[in-house]
């Protein structure tokens, strides 16, 4: 089991490089937060230029790549969902950015809500995480957290704005 992967490990296989968010996951503190932040420039400078259907297709492909990458990296690390693996946060936050209002205030609120749901893992996210293993489990629990985030954003927007 590798407790603290490094850049050498990250560059030893394309799956590691992807699952570590191009190296962002190797930051020594709050890697999930930095992985989530990585989604912002990917969205702003690339993804929002596409039509919604195309953008969702791209994110679906990124999700599938994440299933593959996280399965391999988790197996090679000996830890199914190592903290340095942040591709799940990147993809889940891209989903949020595609649906949430494009206003920076809403995006900031969505960021904080997503981090809260990803860390706290309210039911049924925690149960899902315990039962579904492998790369799909790593990726899918963050998609559930994204769903909670979008639901809360929609409720707040509907009730107060």
Instruction: Identify the pLDDT of residue 3.
Output: 76
Q: What was the pLDDT predicted at 114?
A: 98
Predicted pLDDT of residue 155: 96
Report helix, strand or coil for 2: coil
Return d(Cα 98, Cα 124) in angstroms, integer: 24
Dmax (CA) of the chain: 49
In the predicted model, residues of the chain with pLDDT beneath 70 are: none
- Looking at residue 39, its pLDDT comes to 98
Which residues, 6+ apart, have CB-to-CB distance to 137 below 8 Å? 80, 81, 128, 129, 131
Total residue count of the chain as it appears in this document: 161
Q: What's the pLDDT score for residue 4?
A: 87
Angle CA(82)–CA(109)–CA(135) in degrees, nearest 5? Answer: 25
**How distant is the alpha carbon of residue 113 from its chain centre?**
13
Q: Is the pTM of this model over 0.85?
A: yes
Q: What's residue 1's pLDDT?
A: 75
């Amino acid at each position: 089991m590798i407790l603290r992967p490094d850049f050498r490990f990250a560059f030893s296989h394309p799956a590691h490089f992807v699952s570590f968010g191009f190296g962002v996951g190797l930051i020594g503190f709050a890697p999930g937060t930095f992985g989530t932040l990585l989604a912002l420039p990917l969205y702003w400078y690339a993804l929002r230029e596409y039509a919604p259907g195309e953008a969702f297709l791209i994110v679906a492909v990124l999700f599938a790549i994440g299933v593959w990458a996280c399965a391999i990296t988790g197996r090679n690390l000996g830890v199914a969902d190592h903290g340095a693996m942040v591709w799940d946060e990147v993809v889940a936050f891209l989903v949020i950015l595609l649906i949430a209002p494009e206003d920076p205030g809403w995006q900031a609120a969505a960021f904080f809500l997503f981090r809260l749901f990803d860390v706290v893992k309210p039911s049924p996210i925690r149960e899902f995480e315990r039962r579904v293993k492998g790369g799909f489990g790593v990726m899918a629990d963050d998609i559930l957290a994204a769903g909670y985030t979008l639901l809360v954003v929609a409720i707040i927007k509907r009730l107060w704005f």
